[in-house]
Amino acid sequence: MKRGQCAGILRLRPVRARVGPDLQQGILLQPHTCRCPGRELRHLWGGLRRTSTRGLFFGTIGDKLGRKWVLLTTIAIMGGASTLVGVLPTYEQAGLWAPALLVLLRLLQGFGAGAEQAGATVLMAEYAPVRRRGFFAALPFIGIQAGTLLAAGVFVYLGTLPTEVLLAGVWRIPFLASILLIGVAVFIRMRLRESPTFITLEKQDQVAESPLREVFRGSFPSVLRGIGLRMAENGGSYIFSTLAVSFVVTTVGVGTWIGPLAVAVGSLVGMVTVPFAGHLSDRFGRVPVYRFGAAVLLVLAFPGWWLLSLGNPVIVIIVISVAIGLGVNTMLGAQCALLPEMFGNQHRYLGVATSREFSAILAGGIAPVLGAFLIGASGGAWWPLAIYVFILAAITFATTFVTPETRGRDLTLLNDALFDSAVQVETRPEHMVSHKEFLARVGS
């Protein structure tokens, strides 16, 4: 396999400072040719296996000390690690210390990133006006889409530079420039007030002594539903932004620049669909909007992968953009309010973080590795990957039928939405409680 064929894989999701094989020659190892995408996908899986630790750690702190403190800590860890990648020594300068330092910084990035997203979702949901909670809770994820779009654009440009110029030091510029974004983020968060629902807990002396015990003892059914909801969203995101591009580059043979461009277009679409899906969830409910996003991937699974196998660059961009921009991000837009509303106030941060991080292992972590195995085992056939996407989408689609509607829920309640009484449902803002939902609660 040619070195260039691997580049598309590692230049995806560059928002977390992923380093491509051309840069590895200057930073990590002695000059060599990249052997296969499977190795790099296994590195991705190795990083995701540690997401459960970070979710449990920061989730517990967020429920005991407050949301704001955790968000300041995670942005400092994640942003500082990203910036420091830009000052790493090369292999010629530091020998094996170079790859060791890069691995350490990547671990720090991953340690902060997962709790960062869970915290932003919880904080915005708790701050937002109840009738527009879905829309406002989705807004932080526009930043993620914009960051992915910006980073993908930068890495597309870097991919056009001669290797000698890239390794001469140009690769350091994006990482060093990230300190400006981190400075703005820290400034904004320093001015934030603590979440009003957490302040309510403190005033009533109801802060949980052991959020972890409460989540696994009383909220396990809610966590399982959260994981099921995330299988298509998180798994689909990784499959179409890493595995699909690996497939079309290494198996089908399209140009390496197609991948970052497709992801960039998908992120551009996502900047619209994420808040719009959040808005729709305020009008029609979280669950119906989420179910629609899962249905998109369910319907797209077989025709989408067949179209990818044709190798037409335009079709590749359209399929990946629709899968990420419409399917994945519609679910994400509804999820931003749905997950926080599913959990009680005492353990909300940990409940959301646990659902997100364990699903990241089961869906996002396994997806690239298992997908790479399926590509090799089937001789490059597209249909095993289509079956894989179909199964993930089917799991999420089915989960929406056992997930309670949470639109307009009182976030100061200590119990999970799954255990809301008819009275608690009835007291939600009038236009936010469907007749069907109310009758179902009364009947139970």
Bigger pLDDT: 114 vs 275: 275
Given a cut of 60, whether residue 297 has pLDDT beyond it is yes
How confident is the model at residue 222, as a pLDDT? Answer: 96
Lowest mean pLDDT among 3-7, 298-302, 398-402: 3-7
How confident is the model at residue 22, as a pLDDT? Answer: 46
Of 267, 352, 285, the residue nearest 133 (C-alpha): 285
- Alpha helices for 128-169 (secondary structure H): 133-138, 140-159, 163-165
Q: Residue range 274-283: average pLDDT?
A: 96
Given a cut of 50, whether residue 17 has pLDDT beyond it is no
Given a cut of 90, whether residue 54 has pLDDT beyond it is no
Dihedral angle over CA of 181, 6, 107, 63, nearest 10: 70
The count of other CB atoms within 10 Å of the CB of residue 330 is 28
How confident is the model at residue 194, as a pLDDT? Answer: 86
**DSSP collapsed to 3 states, 429-440:** CHHHCCHHHHHH
Given a cut of 80, whether residue 145 has pLDDT beyond it is no
How confident is the model at residue 299, as a pLDDT? Answer: 97
The count of other CB atoms within 10 Å of the CB of residue 373 is 13
Of 113, 24, 43, the residue nearest 75 (C-alpha): 113
Helix, strand, coil abundance in the chain, percent, nearest 5: 80, 0, 20
Task: Give burial (CB, 10 Å; 0-12/13-18/19+) of 170.
Answer: middle
Coil vs helix vs strand at 137: helix
Of 109, 99, 100, the residue nearest 151 (C-alpha): 109
How confident is the model at residue 312, as a pLDDT? Answer: 93
Q: Are 3 and 21 in contact (CB under 8 A)?
A: yes
Given a cut of 90, whether residue 287 has pLDDT beyond it is yes
| pLDDT band for position 432 (cuts 50, 70, 90) | low
Most confident by average pLDDT, 78-92, 109-123, 218-232, 239-253? 218-232
Q: Are 275 and 139 in contact (CB under 8 A)?
A: yes
The C-alpha atoms of residue 185 and residue 170 are separated, in whole angstroms, by 25
Per residue in 180-204, pLDDT tens? 888 888 888 888 888 889 898 888 8
Bigger pLDDT: 367 vs 432: 367
Residues 6 or more apart from 343 whose CB is under 8 A from it?
A: 219, 222, 351, 352, 416, 417
Given a cut of 90, whether residue 306 has pLDDT beyond it is yes
Q: Residue range 11-30: average pLDDT?
A: 43
Of 290, 403, 39, 320, the residue nearest 152 (C-alpha): 320
Given a cut of 60, whether residue 255 has pLDDT beyond it is yes
Query: Over pLDDT 70: what percentage of the chain?
Result: 84
Given a cut of 80, whether residue 426 has pLDDT beyond it is no
Q: Residue range 161-168: average pLDDT?
A: 78
How confident is the model at residue 52, as a pLDDT? Answer: 59
The C-alpha atoms of residue 185 and residue 54 are separated, in whole angstroms, by 21
How confident is the model at residue 257, as a pLDDT? Answer: 79
Given a cut of 50, whether residue 19 has pLDDT beyond it is no
Q: Are 339 and 233 in contact (CB under 8 A)?
A: no
Residue with tokens 């990957």: 385
How confident is the model at residue 294, as a pLDDT? Answer: 98
Residues 6 or more apart from 300 whose CB is under 8 A from it?
A: 319, 322, 323, 327, 389
How confident is the model at residue 9, as a pLDDT? Answer: 25
How confident is the model at residue 169, as a pLDDT? Answer: 81
Q: Are 62 and 349 in contact (CB under 8 A)?
A: yes
Given a cut of 70, whether residue 114 has pLDDT beyond it is no
The count of other CB atoms within 10 Å of the CB of residue 302 is 16
Residue with tokens 């043979």: 253
What global pTM score does this model have?
A: 0.81
How confident is the model at residue 133, as a pLDDT? Answer: 95
Given a cut of 60, whether residue 3 has pLDDT beyond it is no
Buried b (16+ CB within 10 A) or exposed e, 203-240: eeeebbeebbebbeebbeebbebbbbbbbbbbbbbbbb
How confident is the model at residue 441, as a pLDDT? Answer: 44
Given a cut of 70, whether residue 119 has pLDDT beyond it is yes
Given a cut of 50, whether residue 14 has pLDDT beyond it is no
Of 144, 105, 119, the residue nearest 234 (C-alpha): 144
Per residue in 348-383, pLDDT tens? 999 999 999 889 888 877 877 788 888 888 888 999
The C-alpha atoms of residue 252 and residue 245 are separated, in whole angstroms, by 10
Given a cut of 70, whether residue 34 has pLDDT beyond it is no
Given a cut of 70, whether residue 48 has pLDDT beyond it is no
How confident is the model at residue 343, as a pLDDT? Answer: 95
Q: How far is residue 382 from each of residues 160, 242, 244, 336, 402, measured CA to CA in Å?
A: 29, 15, 10, 32, 32
How confident is the model at residue 4, as a pLDDT? Answer: 35
